[in-house]
Amino acid sequence: MKDTSGAPVLGRTSWKRLGIVMVPTVVLAGALTVAMANGAIAASFAVSGQQFKLKADQLSGTGFVNYGVVDKHADGSPFAAAVSAFKSASITNLCQSVVTTLPVIGDVTLTIKAGGAGTPVTATDLVIDMQQLNATSAVFNNINIGQDASTLSGSAQGAVGTAGLFGQQADSATLTNITQVANSTNAGTFSLHDMSMGLSLGDHDCF
């Protein structure tokens, strides 16, 4: 990139194309002790030991923030997670699944699908605690990368991290062809159109 005088510029615009996938794993590791000391538990409920998978064609939202936290299981044991939160969001062609191994029966998959036929899933104050997120593209508008997590604003209610730790914030975000491994999801409202929910024998995760 060059400026108007023809001199090369080390522009910041390329950073605006980076997304949730760039959150360093060292942030989560480094945040663990500090977050526990400050009581920074993200989920408002005890999280199960099971992770669930989510697949969607697109997620678009306003008021995006991203930071590391420590959640806790029902037995009180802590674990690190990355939080992605939106003030409002829409999700197209949502597939969410969790596999449970039951005595005698074996693996059983619970699957929820919604947001097809041109009517997306909508959510307000959406907070997702996750372990992994992949997307073929992620576009952010007015993103701050490396912002102190305690100063994040404009997102879901209560979506603020611990002082001194890494955070990201953007006015809006659009992610395409998403696969995600998550621990929990909180939302003020979560509206599913054309929803179907079913159980099936075996491992039939969304991806």
At 6-42, the pLDDT tens digits run: 444 443 333 344 443 444 333 333 333 333 333 333 5
Lowest-confidence region among 14-28, 38-52, 183-197: 14-28
Residue from 81, 113, 89 nearest 188 by CA: 89
Q: How many CB atoms lie within 10 A of CB 69?
A: 25
Average pLDDT over residues 138-163: 96
Which CB contacts under 8 angstroms, 24+ apart, belong to 149-155?
149/67, 149/68, 152/65, 152/67, 154/63, 154/65, 154/87, 155/63, 155/64, 155/65, 155/85, 155/86, 155/87
Backbone angles phi, psi at 27, to 5 degrees: -65, -45
The whole-model pTM stands at 0.79
User: Which pLDDT band, with edges at 50, 70 and 90, does 43 fall under?
Assistant: low
